[in-house]
Amino acid sequence: MLILAGTIGLAAWLYMLLAHGGFWRVRRLMPPDVNLDAGQATVVAVVPARDEADVVGRCVASLLRQRGVQLRVVLVDDGSSDGTADVARKAAKAAGKSELLTVLAGKPLEPGWSGKLWAVQQGVEHAAALHPDFYLLTDADIEHSPASVATLAGIATEGPYDMASFMVRLHCQSFAEKALIPAFVFFFFMLYPPAWIADQRRKTAGAAGGSILIRREALERAGGIAAIRAEVIDDCALARRVKQFGGSVWLGLATETASIRPYGTFAEIGKMISRSAFNQLRHSWLLLTVSVAGMALIYAGPPLLLLIHKLVPALLGGAAWLLMAICYWPVIRFYRISPLWALALPLVAVFYVGATVHSAVKYAMGRGGEWKGRIQDPSKR
């Protein structure tokens, strides 16, 4: 039995290393060199914001600094109580580009919509009247590098792609962030290998919601934001719609565009993971059970086999753990943290399993997807 467990773990990591779309090869996920002035695309950035006064100013300022595109910003203030709209206006004024920012007061939440997507819908409705080439759907905590939007537009134009998005560099400074944030990126790309996303022959579709550029016609063809109105993992749901309706999708990793929202503690990161984990499993308790068992076997199993005083299981476990660390190392290097963190993935995976179980419990209690005072993923009991 121990030899079988070790063989399964080793085979799994050989597969991940050699046959799972090269998801772990971070350098291949970097944006390609593109013509940043190709066509001077017109873009309207839609920013949903709810109590984001601490970050929205930097987001708006970074959008108004974009070069290589003609860009306007529509910010939808989704019932904020902290002066989010005023901070955004002050940032635009400081940049000398107040005329390029429109702030909309969000309407009361409509039944059947998630809060974020209802705000995005209002922003897109306003932006559509400007007839842009692209919409940029971005979060209020993202600080965009000056060429970020032009790079996405170049990728979309030269690909050609109907939708292009960046997994932005996440905040990674505290001990908890160093332990858990690189794994978030690693697991995301494992679930949604970018090479498979870009392959029209495959059904795999995914996107990173912090920075999504989508052609106006592609969004309309996919049914608009209304088609995904209740989705919790809305970025990937939108990518699926685009691909289902014949569109092409690209996902990569941004080197400079970054999230400026800190997650200083393990509890904060756990809540972030828990918000959508059980939704990712389609609210299936069977899938949850299988996932927990699989994670235990593939991640926790290899180092545990080293503790057993039997040569063959220990060799299999050691080899699997080594391959695991090799797969994880490029993400660790991308975040410029100690290479020793590559060996910690088994423990990190245990934390993620715990957060996923917590997500299921929250869903069963009727509090799934809780975020800023709203239940985004209510139980249908």
| More confident site: 35 or 87 | 87
Residue type for 281, please?
A: L
341 vs 184: CA distance, rounded Å: 14
pTM of the model: 0.95
- Which residues have C-beta within 8 Å of that of residue 297, sequence separation ≥ 6? 5, 8, 9, 12
For residue 171, CA distances in Å to 5, 250, 257 come to 36, 23, 11
Query: Cα torsion at 103, 105, 110, 115 (round to 10°)?
Result: 60
Domain with CATH 3.90.550.10 in the chain: 26-259
* pLDDT-above-90 percentage for the chain: 91
> At residue 376, does pLDDT exceed 90?
no
- pLDDT at site 368: 85
Cβ atoms of residues 169 and 258 within 8 Å: yes
The residues facing 250 across adjacent strands are 164
- For residue range 312-333, list pLDDT tens digits in order: 999 999 999 999 999 999 999 9
**pLDDT confidence band for 213 (50 / 70 / 90):** very high
**Domain range 26-259, CATH architecture:** Alpha-Beta Complex (3.90)
- pLDDT at site 218: 98
Rounded to 10°, the helix 175-191/311-334 angle is 100
Cβ atoms of residues 335 and 172 within 8 Å: yes
> At residue 381, does pLDDT exceed 60?
no
- pLDDT at site 39: 59
Residue type for 126, please?
A: H
Q: Which of 235, 65, 41, 26 is nearest to 152 (CA)?
A: 41
Please state the rounded mean pLDDT for residues 255-280: 94
- pLDDT at site 76: 98
- For residue range 46-91, list pLDDT tens digits in order: 999 999 999 999 999 999 999 999 999 999 999 999 999 999 999 9
> At residue 226, does pLDDT exceed 90?
yes
DSSP conformation letters of 218-283: HHHHTTTGGGGTT-SSHHHHHHHHHHHTT--EEEEEEEEEEE-----SHHHHHHHHHHHHHHHTTT
The two tokens of residue 273 are 């993971």
